[in-house]
A and B are shown apart, each in its own frame.
Chain A
């Protein structure tokens, strides 16, 4: 048994090393610090996207401390690694709240991880800021959603493609990764398209597993689907790094953005960084933020990020802006409430305003979603996304989609008289 014991020892040792490295001094527990929990995967499939958000929170905390902290106290980040393992998210969330006694948590990326921590936050009445675009159909008292709801991303993107400017698209491929976000978004989009008079046979829906890498068949199917005499577009809710081989295959099979444009909801600057974008020029992305937008706030943010991370080539993206807005709003709300008590901060959150990095002002609504502008951009050969269309004004995030009959009648409003995340009539 000697060999096995040795190996086991090595593994446990490495695991302990990893925990202590990520723990960042959890031992320090005092009243003069405010603790911010960070619940993002630092290993596993989602590490590629989520590590950046962890760094963004650390940067904001660092910045806050340099400017005198919050309520006169030092702010401390407690970082844990849920390792892209959905049940582990719930365990780590409980650990953050019960053991580390954090005042707020910034975290999660995939909807399945959010759904997994939701009961924990509700049971322990803590607060989570969720910074990623998602499928909607949810509003929890304990979660603030700073990413886009479907009406702030998917619906405007499809409307743009239907317009003269976007190419009068008549045929739609809805391609996504097989989990809750793409399935719900596609359900909303399908009923939206049908409400606009698109026939059943003009919609093709396709799902692939996480990390899918052999896209040959699907891409040639898309090509065939697009050769039926009607302008075709692909709406992609493909998530994570499966996008890279997908776009590579598109480029290799010569699908040109002028013929069949692909509009993606999960592809940002960070995902494009691992890719030669020359064959992809003209494919679209819909977000609330692009790094290429020129504004004073954005320039300052990019500069701060590059300085913090110490790499001039690193890019910024939409979930980072959402993290930035959420963090700013939380600090403002804490200052206004004069305490980090969850119930007091929650009340102070409503109506909180923070300047968007892309211009205009984001406002936190009583349904726990933000009002933000919607941007549609085209991928450029330098890996950036250049805005080609944007909403005149901010769009109010809608928790319950109007295009799903069961949810169209639901209202999310956490203030009197409704006080609910999804009800038809006021509770009081």
Chain B
């Protein structure tokens, strides 16, 4: 990388400046953070960063992470750590142990968004040479975002010393951005542009379009500027093209993710409605009961086994299946078995039942939403490249939906219960004369469908509100999927759910969420006109009559 004399001089001046102020007392500067006024705090933050003290990065990180407190008695700046009988506090500057206090004795140093941006930038500059690669990566990213000119030299040095390839890549990108913005010669800028146009990152696009806008606004541009503007435009087009590709991949992923949510919600219904022919309007409430079971399991874990809290979600899966399944069996035995063959009455009865269940849950748990926390391993994103990041919770739900479908297929195909169930569906009287207890099979089938809905509730508790109305939001969608996919066919439900999910996600950017839903509904109505039995129609005696 070419380093001009000018940049060397700038770097020397910068180093001199930091050396000179290194003597300034960090503790003194930090006192400014006690002010109520944000401008004073910003000034203090800048002084702290300029002090050159080795503790300054530590102090700023504590401030950013919300672990900087002032003691109410002595106005000392401390960091705190929870211990059994209160909070262990340490002086932030001297690291002196100040004993244990209660939370009421401390007041938090608050920051606002403007300070947050500033601190990130400053911490980034201070941690470029940190031992922790994760911190260095963060530092490179924050320099990339703020692009301060004086960082060109320190960043080149850091890059030269960098061993970790992913950090080096981030640094190269940041350096390219710096050179592109502040580069003194067209060559340096052009060279930086070559690196930037290989990126597929919305941030790079943002940088390039800002520059393109600036160049386009120049009145009477010289031929050099014109040529450069053309190069920037070409680079922008290149990045755009990559981002568009990633956009499509992202769209497909989101569609599959929506599809898997629909599949989870609908698959239980595919059994109760599809196989048994019961129009169960209380299906959504089984999902809701599953979600509330998750909440209860998590609360139990929190109170009795805090160490197991991270696994509470896994423990909730069988619990939700059992609770919702038992509810299903109870509903079948007490209401639905009297109404077989009378779809309209079943519809009304289960609708009323769904209202009763909602109000019942509301009375027990209260009308406010319950928080089901996401464990660490389900939060955040899996970054594939710069412009494409998939969220972990969505990936987990896709896998979970696939697992549920697979298990259900196994039960239906490989167990004697599955065999009996299919036998009862195809010809109830024949099955009864073969000695199958059809009443029992009915109850178990309904229980199975409800239990699967309960498991869906576990997944939905991660992406939706755990409220008494949770189920209502999914009941129409579930019926849509089952009817579209073909009544009584699990594969149909799978294809139906995925195709509706993907179509919805491709429509949404053009039409908006409201219109996309309407379009899907209209499409299904038209489709049902053409193929009343859905995508995959079941053939058999049960269907004929």
The reply to whether the CB of B381 lies closer than 8 angstroms to some CB of chain A is yes
Q: Is the CB of B381 within 8 A of A254?
A: yes
Q: In the assembly, what is the distance between CA of A2 and CA of B110, in Å?
A: 66
B window 333-356: CB within 8 A of A: 335, 338-339, 342, 345, 348-349, 352-353, 355-356
> Quick one: which of A18, A52, A224, A388 contacts B202, CB cutoff 8 A?
A224
Q: Which residues of B contact A166 (CB under 8 A)?
A: 113-114
Contact count band on B: 35 or more
Cβ of B514 and Cβ of A47 under 8 Å apart? no
Question: In the complex, are the beta carbons of A214 and B258 less than 8 A apart?
Answer: yes
Stretch of A126-134, A244-252, A295-303 with 4 or more beta carbons under 8 angstroms from chain B:
A244-252
CA distance A223 to B201 in the complex (A): 11
Cβ A220 vs Cβ B374 within 8 A: no
Which of A7, A167, A282 is within 8 Å of B352, CB to CB?
A7
**B:500-535 near A, CB below 8 Å:** 505, 508-509, 512-514, 517
Closest to A54 in B: B367
| A14 on interface, CB distance cutoff 8 Å | yes
CA distance A275 to B355 in the complex (A): 26
A353 touches B (CB below 8 Å): no
Say whether B465 faces chain A, with CB atoms less than 8 Å apart. Answer: yes
With most chain A CB atoms within 10 A of its CB, the pick from B120, B394, B465, B468 is B465
B225 within 8 A of A: no
* B514: chain A residues within 8 A (beta carbon): 178, 207-209
Main secondary structure of the interface of B (DSSP, over half): helix
Question: Number of A interface residues, CB 8 Å?
Answer: 69
A216:B394 contact, CB within 8 angstroms: yes
The answer to whether A229 and B359 touch across the interface, beta carbons within 8 angstroms, is: no
A237 to B427, CA, bound (A): 54
Interface string of B364-378 (1 = CB under 8 A from A): 001111110110000
Q: Which of B9-56 contact A (CB under 8 A)?
A: 38
How far does the Cβ of A240 sit from chain B's closest Cβ, in whole Å? 9
Q: Is B213 an interface residue when CB atoms closer than 8 A count as contact?
A: yes
Residue numbers in B under 8 Å from A48 (CB-CB) = 367-369, 467
Chain A residues whose CB sits within 8 angstroms of the CB of B368 once the complex forms: 48, 51-52, 270, 273-274
Q: Is the CB of B468 within 8 A of A217?
A: no
Chain A residues positioned under 8 Å from B508 (CB to CB): 217-218
B172 at the interface (CB under 8 A from A): no
Q: Which of A42, A43, A211, A217 contacts B254 (CB 8 A)?
A: A217
A227 touches B206 (CB 8 A): yes
Question: Among the listed A43, A178, A206, which residue makes an inter-chain contact with B359, where contact means beta carbons less than 8 Å apart?
Answer: A43
Task: Point out the residues of chain B lying under 8 angstroms from A378, CB to CB.
Answer: 112-113
Name the contact of B463 in the complex, choosing from A221, A245, A273 (C-beta under 8 A): A245
Chain A residue contacts of B305, Cβ below 8 A = none
Is residue A3 within 8 Å, beta carbon to beta carbon, of the partner chain?
yes
B356 and A10 form a contact (CB under 8 A): yes
Q: Is A304 an interface residue (CB 8 A)?
A: no
B374 and A276 contact, CB distance less than 8 A: yes
Q: Is B71 an interface residue (CB 8 A)?
A: no
B389 within 8 A of A: yes
- Are A252 and B112 closer than 8 Å at their CB atoms? no
Give Cα distance in the complex from A207 to B508, angstroms.
11
A43, B468: Cα distance in complex, Å: 9
Please tell me if the beta carbons of A167 and B114 are within 8 angstroms of each other in the complex: yes
Could you tell me the distance between the alpha carbons of A399 and B433 in the complex, rounded to whole angstroms? 75
Asked if A422 is an interface residue, CB under 8 A from chain B, the answer is: no
B473 interfacial contact with A, CB 8 Å: yes
Neighbouring B residues of A281 by C-beta, 8 Å: 66
Q: Is the CB of A4 within 8 A of B369?
A: no
Say yes or no: is A241 at the interface (Cβ < 8 Å to chain B): yes
| Residues from chain A with Cβ under 8 Å of B362 in the complex | 43, 47
Query: Provided the pairs A165-B114, A273-B371 are in contact, do residues A45 and B356 lie with their beta carbons within 8 angstroms?
Result: no
Partner of B345, one of A3, A253, A279, A386: A3
Please, which residues of chain A bring their CB within 8 A of the CB of B345? 3-4, 7
A261 within 8 A of B: yes
Q: How far is the CA of A224 from the CA of B203 in the complex (A)?
A: 9
User: Contacts of B254 on A, CB cut-off 8 Å?
Assistant: 216-217, 220
- Distance between Cα atoms of A44 and B348 in the complex (Å): 19
| B393 at interface by CB-CB < 8 Å | yes
A227 touching B203 in the complex, CB below 8 Å, given contacts A51-B368, A208-B513, A276-B374: yes
Complex Cα distance, B394 from A217, in Å, reads: 13
Which B residues lie within 8 Å of A228 (CB)? 205-206, 209
CB of B294 closer than 8 Å to a CB of A: no
Q: Shortest Cβ distance from A161 into chain B, in angstroms?
A: 9
Is A11 an interface residue when CB atoms closer than 8 A count as contact?
yes
Known contacts A209-B513, A227-B205; A10/B469 CB under 8 A:
no
**Per a CB cutoff under 8 Å, which of B117, B258, B358, B393 touches A252?**
B393
Q: A226 CA to B201 CA in the complex, in Å?
A: 12
Say whether B349 contacts A4, CB under 8 Å. yes
A95 within 8 A of B: no
CB distance from B494 to the nearest CB of A (A): 19
Q: Which residue of B lies closest to A381 (CB)?
A: B66
Bound together, the chains give a CA A279 to CA B380 distance in angstroms of 10
A-B contact pairs, 14 of them (CB 8 A): A3-B345, A11-B355, A44-B469, A166-B113, A167-B113, A208-B513, A221-B509, A227-B203, A227-B205, A229-B206, A229-B209, A230-B210, A244-B369, A381-B66
Chain A residues near B (Cβ < 8 Å)? 2-4, 6-8, 10-11, 14, 18, 42-45, 47-48, 51-52, 165-167, 178, 206-209, 211-214, 216-218, 220-221, 223-224, 226-230, 241, 244-245, 248-249, 251-254, 257-259, 261, 270, 273-276, 279, 281-282, 284, 378, 380-381, 386, 388
With contacts A4-B342, A216-B258 known, what are 14 further pairs, Cβ within 8 A? A47-B362, A48-B367, A165-B38, A166-B114, A213-B473, A216-B394, A218-B513, A227-B203, A228-B209, A229-B211, A252-B392, A274-B466, A284-B113, A378-B113
Chain B residues with CB under 8 Å of chain A are 38, 66, 110, 112-114, 116-117, 120, 145, 202-203, 205-211, 213, 243, 247, 250-251, 254, 257-258, 261, 335, 338-339, 342, 345, 348-349, 352-353, 355-356, 358-359, 362, 366-371, 373-374, 379-381, 389, 391-394, 463-469, 473, 505, 508-509, 512-514, 517
The 8 closest A-B pairs by CB, nearest first: A229-B210, A3-B338, A227-B202, A274-B369, A47-B367, A11-B352, A252-B391, A227-B206
